[in-house]
Amino acid sequence: MDIVQLHDKRFEVFIDKATIANKVVALAKQIDADYKGLNPLFLGILNGSFIFAADLFRHISTPAEISFIKLASYRGTTSTGNIVTAIGLEENIAGRHIVIVEDIVDTGRTLHSFLPQVLQQQPASVQIACFLSKPEARVCEVVPRYMCFEIQDTFVVGYGLDYDGQGRNLPHLYRLCD
Ligand code: 5GP
């Protein structure tokens, strides 16, 4: 399936699933080495990160924990900047090494508004691991420590990312056709 139709839009394969899988394993190895013996707590941001977080986490071999929170700023194909917290942070994160797992850092607004909540609880450290980053679209300064791919400012779906609810189950990453 090189071209898929979701609602009113067509998408083409952008990054295939084998390339994604290799990159995720390599990133997990890097994180694993950096956090050896630190019992990191991975915090996945729902919904978009659920596939990336699962694939990444299963390749972490040092003892680690994972939890999820739900934030959202996207409606359709543009970021609204209105961050909604639907499921909050339940863990006590004071003194913990936190790895925030995000699907994509776009404008940076989502993480920029969420990070103070995390820092307020005095974790030992906080870093961001994202599947994708769109540096050209950045409005707020957010610097992911770990990243699979840097992409241009184009709308993508698949591998957990949706277009109005559809496309999260697509195995590859797709981008909007011209
Ligand atoms: P930000 O707050 O950094 O602008 O946006 C973060 C959220 O917007 C991401 O977690 C993701 O859910 C959504 N998002 C940003 N760019 C895209 C995109 O190209 N495709 C999809 N499906 N979601 C995106």
- Residue 36 falls within a domain, yes or no? yes
| 139 CA to centre of ligand 1 in angstroms | 13
| 104 CA to centre of ligand 1 in angstroms | 5
Q: 80 is in which domain, residue-wise?
A: 23-151
Can you tell me the distance from the alpha carbon of 112 to that of 165, in angstroms, rounded to the nearest whole number? 24
Taking the CA of residue 155 as reference, the ligand 1 atom at the shortest distance is 19
Q: What does each of the 178 residues of the chain score in pLDDT, given as a tens digit?
A: 689 999 999 999 999 999 999 999 999 999 999 999 999 999 999 999 999 999 999 999 999 999 999 986 555 565 555 666 656 788 899 999 999 999 999 999 999 988 998 999 999 999 999 999 999 999 999 999 999 999 999 999 999 999 999 999 999 999 999 8
Q: What is the number of domains present in the chain?
A: 1
Name the residue among 132, 141, 83, 66 with its Cα closest to residue 107: 141
Can you tell me the distance from the alpha carbon of 94 to that of 136, in angstroms, rounded to the nearest whole number? 34
- Residue 161 falls within a domain, yes or no? no
Residue with tokens 């909540």: 117
Please report, for residues 10, 19, 152, the alpha-carbon distance to residue 2 in angstroms, rounded to integers and kept in the order given. Answer: 10, 15, 20
Taking the CA of residue 83 as reference, the ligand 1 atom at the shortest distance is 2
CATH code of the domain covering residue 144: 3.40.50.2020
- Residue 43 falls within a domain, yes or no? yes
- Residue whose CA lies nearest to ligand 1 atom number 15: 106
Instruction: Please list every protein residue whose CB sits less than 6 Å from any atom of ligand 1.
Output: 48, 73-74, 79, 102-110, 155-157, 161-163
- Residue 169 falls within a domain, yes or no? no
- Residue 17 falls within a domain, yes or no? no
Taking the CA of residue 134 as reference, the ligand 1 atom at the shortest distance is 16
Q: Which residue in 2, 34, 55, 106 is the catalytic one?
A: 106
Q: Under a CB-based contact definition with an 8 Å cutoff, are residues 13 and 65 in contact?
A: no
- Residue 95 falls within a domain, yes or no? yes
- Residue 77 falls within a domain, yes or no? yes
Can you tell me the distance from the alpha carbon of 123 to that of 91, in angstroms, rounded to the nearest whole number? 11
- Residue 4 falls within a domain, yes or no? no
16 Cβ neighbours under 8 A, 6+ residues apart: 172
- Residue whose CA lies nearest to ligand 1 atom number 9: 104
